[in-house]
Structure 1
Amino acid sequence: MRMITFFLIGLTVHVVFFVSIFDIYFTSPLVHGMTPQVTPLGPPASRLVLVVGDGLRADSLFTLLPNGSSRAPYLRSVIEQRGTWGVSHTRVPTESRPGHVALIAGFYEDVSAVAKGWKENPVEFDSVFNESRHTWCWGSPDILPMFAKGASGDHVYTHTYPAQEEDFASTDASRLDSWVFNQVKSLFQSAKFNSSLKESLLEDKNVFFLHLLGIDTNGHAHRPMSQEYLENIALVDTGVAELVSVVEEFFGYDGRTAYVFTSDHGMTNWGSHGAGHPSETLTPLVVWGAGVQSAHRVTEAQPYNDVYLQGAELVLLADIAPLMASLIGVPIPVNSVGVLPLLYLNNSEQFKAESMYANAIQVLEQFKVQRHSALLLLIITLIISLCRSLISHALEGLVYYHTYDRFFLGCSVVLGFVGWTSYVVVVILKTHASLNRHPSLLKQVRVLCMCVTAAITVFLLIQRSPVTYYIYCLLPVPVWYSVLKESATLTDLIRSAPSLPLWKCFGYFLLVALGIELLVVSFFHRAMLTVGLAVLSLWPFLSGLYGKSKFRSVSWFLGCLCLAAFPLMPVVGREPNIHLVTCAGLLTLFTSACYLWSSGRRAPLHLSDKQQFVAQMLHVAVCAYVPSLTHSSLQQKQGLPLLNQIISWTTLASSMLVPLLSSTRLFHRLLSIFLSLTATYLLLSTGSEALFPPVLSWLMFVWINIEQEAMLAQGVSGRQELSTIDFSANIDITKIRQLKLDDIRRSYFFVFFIITAFFGTGNIASINSFDPASVYCFLTVFNPFIMGGLMMWKVIIPFIIVMCTFETIQVATQLSSRSWICTECSFSTCHFFFLVQDYGSWLDIGTSISHYVIVMSMTIFLMLLSVVTHIFTSQRLVLWRRTKMHFP
């Protein structure tokens, strides 16, 4: 009962601290109540055509072919004869939704939108579409609806194709773009016979938006250097040429149409996007038509290098929103932080100055609302440099007031973390240490905590703080009360210190502290895990275990070195190598066969166990072949075979059920778990990462055996032979013996292997910029939630292998070290709390969140996962029982 209470308290405390980062770091930057700003002068254009080639890189469009021609001849002619062009910079995260929000609404969306899959608006926002008189949109169902839902009124008309059309395994994704161009032509053709539609089209301040997803889909499926990707660019170029012809003909060549062609993000050479590589952030921008400079070049289209990036005057993606608004004379979106790029405008100096002034006041209005004051600097002269200065100061003010309470709340959360860690230490000392008990100062502590609670409450009431602030600031009070009321335990520890081996204790804790810091650094530099594994490989030799078991010590040494190779491999950008997946399957079968042979010599297997292991090994062989067959079929553009899909989903669904049918003998159950999880992992692999589970399982097997030798070296009584241990016969091991210093080392090993398992081949970055080929055995139609779930399960499989190993060690060493694990995890939690960031690339932001989530999750769910693992290892499902027949 005490353990359940302890777990519930710990769960509540850490859930509150985890939720706190979303109030402190990830609140929406949008403010409301601003007055829309518009240039009083007449606009140069009556309508705007916006074409976004999703996933189009700048170099892919601008680079000429070896013969001097262009793969996009029409856009090239626009560049050379009548348009202004350059390179736009898509601020990270380089994903479709953030890119389009920046382009059309003019602000960089808060990452909280990811909680709704980038599809739903966490906060409604203004956009150029909303400010227009009418907007017609064609394209993806993932992008268009958010601008219609965010618009006031019913003047944004969206036309989308079914979501299942976004299939990475399709023979040619360029049909998505052909569909868009055909729909636009149909609209103008219908207007010739529909008077009301024609009347709407002839009005001013109209926008036509074409979202072309074919380039992005072909890039994911075939890579940006593929023929499919490059031919899709040519198709888009032809479609734009026909579109301009249809539009100009419909409006009688009145010269009042402005055109903008750009992209929401680029793409890496391996077909992913989301981070900050120049191939992802640098996109083409071509503007022509009414009100636009003719044949003007803003930047040079050169190869991506540091010199070019430093010297080029790039247009930020958010700057295009005020440009489009100025061209057709609509208010700049009220939440826009873009700066009007004047080099693109062909108009009078007065128009430019008025437009710049409206831009400055529009940004300043946000600052005024955010700080709740009437600060307004009177701009007497229309000097553009002064407007730029106002924008800069307004943006700094937005950041200041947005982060006003961050330090105060951070201190409260850190105080709670320190208190919780102290409480865990007190619980460990009370439970596992023989200390004398003395009366505690309970009354004085209660009075002190009541006074502190009253003071904090009054302070928050004066500040008119939200309810969540009370939770963050008051939660440390009961935590510290629980610590201080046990002050007698700490006093007893101090009094008993002279009788302890202080130097040994100090050395142990110093090594663990250094090890924890190594884990913290490894979150940023995965190669540190390699360093850690190299150091751990020497443990048997430094501890004297080598003399007692040379074979196991050498196996540990080799296992650590083999596992150390994986953190040195890239997480993203790996070229698929299905042959390595097949090799991993063969390695799994070989190691499993070796175990069955050796196990049969020590203790013969029951016939039912033999049959299950043989069936699981055959299943692994099938799963090792399915990825090869699937990728071969997709390369031939024959689609995903139905049989392969059925095998994959069946394997996934049964991966947690099949091990429960095996024997609960220690190594029998572990082998069944290994085969079941590895089969699923093979289906989700595309290369060298498939070798990770077999290598990790080998090292975990050695760890279990070598811990037995360590117990024997310490003279621990009651040691069982591993071959005789049955998980189902496990008793309450927390009451068998007291803690020893070596248990701290076991706990650290476990935490280290958990981090290694999670970051060895994949992490949040690999999910953000993952290779779609990893899930092709399960599905090829784009579905972010299912694909993300499959990738997350792939990351968790090695995690479960380590959890099962540690559960085995708890049984074999006759003690639970879980309390020490909670303490070791808590030491790094505060460190990562201050490293959470809400700026930079999606890779940087996602990595900082994932770091905090990982260390928080270890302390929140470790006890829960140990219970689940206990069930996974000790319980057995019996599908049928033999019954004896009794005859009279």
Structure 2
Amino acid sequence: MLLFFTLGLLVHFVFFASIFDIYFTSPLVHGMTPQFTPLPPPARRLVLFVADGLRADSLYELDENGNSRAPFIRSIIMHEGSWGISHTRVPTESRPGHVAMIAGFYEDVSAVAKGWKENPVEFDSLFNESKYTWSWGSPDILPMFAKGASGDHVYTYSYDAEREDFGADDATKLDTWVFDKVKDFFHAARNNQSLFSKVNEEKVVFFLHLLGLDTNGHAHRPSSREYKDNIKIVDDRVKEIVSMFQHFYGNDGKTAFIFTSDHGMTDWGSHGAGHPSETLTPLVTWGAGIKYPQKVSADIAPLMASLIGVPFPLNSVGILPVEYLNNTDLFKAESMFTNAVQILEQFKVKMTQKKEATLPFLFTPFKLLSDSKQVDILRKARLYIKQGKFDEAVSLCTELIHLALKGLSYYHTYDRFFLGISVAIGFVGWTSYVSLLIIKSHSNLTRSISKEVKVVIQDLVASLLTFPLSHFVGHLLICTLGIEVLVLSFFYRYMLTAGLVIFAGWPFLTQLWTRAKVTSLSWTFFSLLLAVFPLMPVVGRKPDLSLVMSAGLLVLLLSLFVITSLIKRKNSFIKEELLVHLLQMLSTVLSMYVVYSTHNSLLKKQGLPLMNQVVSWAILASSLVVPLLSSPVLFQRLVSILLSLMSTYLLLSTGYEALFPLVLSCLMFIWIHMEQETLQQSGVCYKQKLTSIQFSYNTDIIQFRHLCLDDIRRAFFLVFFLVTAFFGTGNIASINSFDLASVYCFLTVFSPFMMGSLMMWKILIPFVLVMCAFEASHFVFISQHFFFLVKDYGSWLDIGTSISHYVIVMSMTIFLVFLNGLAQLLTTKKLRLYGKPKSHLI
């Protein structure tokens, strides 16, 4: 058995890792030659303002009095520069948004699994190509561009991460800090000859990252007064900085300005997906090299490179927006030619790498862009420029760019089909092996490995014939349909509702109704009650503490019921059990108080109270220990686990989801009763009451028996309840699906990994409750289905959804053994407060 589990874990780890090797390898290539336009650029320096989390409508629309929230930016739009609504490509997160703007390519999907704070993959950027770059802002953004820079010419100035506090009284301080530091920098430059000389060089970039709007949007939502006031503050300070630049450089007309955003924000204060509120951002450019008022769109990285005359970032896949440029047609054509050669260089390196890694007779080149066609297009484009046919040259270069980009995609996904088929065959092989092993272990099939294959097949067929064929086929069809319902539930949560409604009628289709009417009615009631949760909204809901408090009160009532039942029984360990439940009641009361007081404190902008934070972490730490102090009697231990985990769950709740574990656990308790009745009905003699069964590895309920059709139904029920535990109140497809307010009892300072871990534990708590009640099951059929649904394109919500669906299913398989071990620890082990063990029956 140990060998089987070891082999199974190894196989599933391979399947788990396969998607990252197939779908999420880096598309970046290295070894290209830098390309730049051999003509003098219009600007000597570039100033890039990025208002993190600023929506286009929030900037452009007028307020209730008909006035602009950003009068300076609006005057630029009306009189000085080009402007528009930039469509930020998903994923709409800060890191990929800044990578797209400054490096010119869309987020390397291999970085999704590697982190946000630093640059996990090597790529070129505008900052690296500049003579000097100075940047001010968030420590989450600036270091990733400085770390990959060659030499010592990219300078960063960041505030402490503790300033990124969603519970702070004034998040605009994140922006005013940046503006103040820029002013101090130029003041120091006047008195420092070395610095003064550097800032007066050409090909210089100044980057101001403004995080206040994003923080206020998360904390208060974009419709709030705090968010709108922040826009006014940013506008005022941008005006001040622009004036300072003009004064410092003596109005030499050689400064180009760009004001934009990395992403927008939903009405409920999140981002990451592809909703227009997240993808539509403002873009305003003015100064040297920029045309006068017009509305256009742009790829920002090649535009900035062209303005100050530095080589296009080597990995940039952006197309230069020549319509933005206020320059000669010759300059535009030469810049476009450079852009085309720069992207073509990537295509040629990618093709060479793939050709060297593939057997010659298996290599199929990209036919739309052969070597001869490359030479022909470049020759014609150069001839058009020489003849003064600049529009024709620009058009031809644009065509070459589009072909090169298609070729890059072709070679990046070259091996995907072969690798996918290999993994699919592996799924089928492992599934067949496990199925045969189960049938051999739980049927009349011989266990002797010395039998000939023919005899084994005969025994297998004979074993299958023990089931009535019509029943077997019927169960198989129902299970197949059920698996597809489970797959659909990953995308449409209401499918869980449909499944639970069908489950509600299960007792009435069997003899359970006649044997246990009360239990059957309870099963129907709680199935229908649980079916309500998948219909509730996942995102965009407002916090409702009254529901959290109601859940806490129900937990207290359950605790009182358990204590009352304990007092009625006489046992030498009654004092110890009462003490455990009193501790759990105290923990619940403290959780309710912390949730309420933290919410009020944040509303008053007084931050997270230190004592509340300490109590929250203490409750979380104790929630896995306190149940071990209770009796290992099945009912007592399961209730104890529920009460302890509910204290933590309350701290992580903001609304209706606080009630979910209670309803789910009630249904799980009833399911245990129902399965006990089914076992007795099928002839398995087992008459112990659930109030006297002890969790033990050697309990009599675990016994060898032959497979029956009910085992298929039990396995499906378990899988369905596990999926319901994950998706009943939300999903873990993307951080976009969560309200950061869920973790405010534990921390408010931005920490993506800590916040993500807490949110993940919130999702896992219902799963642990299910695991504590039942045995593990296998998930390979659903895993194979989701393997072919993995995406490496689109928003982080799209990519995250496809990854998380596969990862959830595979993780259930991989970690089911470990989680089952945790469940067994919680249910079978007992810690003693005092005295020697005598009897655990209560």
TM class, shorter-chain normalised? Answer: over 0.9
Which residue is 2:280 aligned to?
Answer: 282
Which residue is 1:811 aligned to?
Answer: none
Distance change >3 Å, CA 566–CA 377, structure 1 → 2: farther
Which residue is 1:526 aligned to?
Answer: 493
Which residue is 2:739 aligned to?
Answer: 771
> Could you tell me how far 1:440 is from its partner in structure 2?
6.5
> Which residue among 738, 745, 750 is the counterpart of 2:706?
738
Matched AA of 1:295: P
Which residue is 2:529 aligned to?
Answer: 562
Residues 143-202 of structure 1 deviation map (CA, whole Å, 9 limit, x = unaligned): 001111111111001001011111111110111111111111111111111111111111
Q: Does 1:839 align with 2:837?
A: no
What's the C-alpha RMSD, in Å, of the aligned pairs? Answer: 1.9
Matches within 5 A, 1:237-256: 237-256=235-254
**3-state SS of 1:93 partner:** coil
**3-state SS of 1:702 partner:** helix
Q: Does 1:646 align with 2:614?
A: yes
TM-score in terms of structure 1 length: 0.88
> Which residue among 822, 831, 835 is the counterpart of 1:877?
831
Say whether the 8 Å CA contact 1:426–1:490 is kept in structure 2.
no
> Which residue among 530, 543, 546 is the counterpart of 1:579?
546
**3-state SS of 1:490 partner:** helix
Distance 2:477 2:46 in 1: 66
Which residue is 1:637 aligned to?
Answer: 605
Which residue is 1:37 aligned to?
Answer: 35
Unaligned runs of 5+ in 2: 356-370, 385-389
> Which residue among 356, 362, 366 is the counterpart of 2:336?
356
> Which residue among 340, 356, 371 is the counterpart of 2:320?
340
Distance 1:579 1:320 in 2: 47
Which residue is 1:868 aligned to?
Answer: 822
Distance change >3 Å, CA 732–CA 826, structure 1 → 2: farther
Which residue is 2:223 aligned to?
Answer: 225
TM-score in terms of structure 2 length: 0.93
Distance 2:657 2:502 in 1: 23
Distance 1:108 1:750 in 2: 41
> Which residue among 167, 175, 187 is the counterpart of 2:185?
187
Which residue is 2:21 aligned to?
Answer: 23
Distance 1:637 1:859 in 2: 44
Which residue is 2:137 aligned to?
Answer: 139
**3-state SS of 1:210 partner:** strand
Say whether the 8 Å CA contact 1:270–1:573 is kept in structure 2.
yes
Which residue is 2:70 aligned to?
Answer: 72
Say whether the 8 Å CA contact 1:437–1:489 is kept in structure 2.
no
> Could you tell me how far 1:592 is from its partner in structure 2?
3.5
Which residue is 2:503 aligned to?
Answer: 536
Residues 27-83 of structure 1 deviation map (CA, whole Å, 9 limit, x = unaligned): 001011111111111111110000000000000100012333211111111010101
Matches within 5 A, 1:420-431: 420-431=430-441
> Could you tell me how far 1:601 is from its partner in structure 2?
5.3
**3-state SS of 1:52 partner:** strand
Distance 1:61 1:30 in 2: 35
Matched AA of 1:60: S
Distance change >3 Å, CA 116–CA 161, structure 1 → 2: same
Residues 754-795 of structure 1 deviation map (CA, whole Å, 9 limit, x = unaligned): 000001113223534422211110111111111111001000
Which residue is 1:783 aligned to?
Answer: 751
> Could you tell me how far 1:624 is from its partner in structure 2?
1.9
Say whether the 8 Å CA contact 1:25–1:406 is kept in structure 2.
yes
**3-state SS of 2:259 partner:** strand
> Could you tell me how far 1:837 is from its partner in structure 2?
0.7
> Which residue among 302, 305, 315 is the counterpart of 1:325?
305
Say whether the 8 Å CA contact 1:144–1:160 is kept in structure 2.
yes
The sequence identity of aligned pairs, in percent, is 63
Say whether the 8 Å CA contact 2:119–2:143 is kept in structure 1.
no
Distance change >3 Å, CA 297–CA 125, structure 1 → 2: same
> Which residue among 385, 403, 410 is the counterpart of 2:395?
385
- The total of aligned residue pairs comes to 807
Q: Which moved more, 1:409-418 or 1:708-717?
A: 708-717
Q: Which moved more, 1:723-732 or 1:748-757?
A: 723-732
Distance 1:489 1:363 in 2: 60
Q: Does 1:853 align with 2:821?
A: no
Distance change >3 Å, CA 489–CA 429, structure 1 → 2: farther
Distance 1:502 1:858 in 2: 32
Distance 2:754 2:160 in 1: 17
Matches within 5 A, 1:265-304: 265-298=263-296
> Could you tell me how far 1:285 is from its partner in structure 2?
0.2
Distance 1:616 1:537 in 2: 32
**3-state SS of 1:513 partner:** helix
Say whether the 8 Å CA contact 1:55–1:213 is kept in structure 2.
yes
> Could you tell me how far 1:736 is from its partner in structure 2?
3.5
Q: Which moved more, 1:54-63 or 1:874-883?
A: 874-883
Which residue is 1:619 aligned to?
Answer: 587
Say whether the 8 Å CA contact 2:612–2:745 is kept in structure 1.
yes
Distance 2:701 2:411 in 1: 53
Which residue is 2:773 aligned to?
Answer: 805
Residues 618-647 of structure 1 deviation map (CA, whole Å, 9 limit, x = unaligned): 321221232111010111111111221111
Distance 1:565 1:497 in 2: 39
Distance 1:411 1:883 in 2: 57
> Could you tell me how far 1:838 is from its partner in structure 2?
0.1
Which residue is 2:727 aligned to?
Answer: 759
Matched AA of 1:391: I
Distance change >3 Å, CA 865–CA 186, structure 1 → 2: same
Residues 819-873 of structure 1 deviation map (CA, whole Å, 9 limit, x = unaligned): xx22xx1111111111111011110110101111111122222233222211210
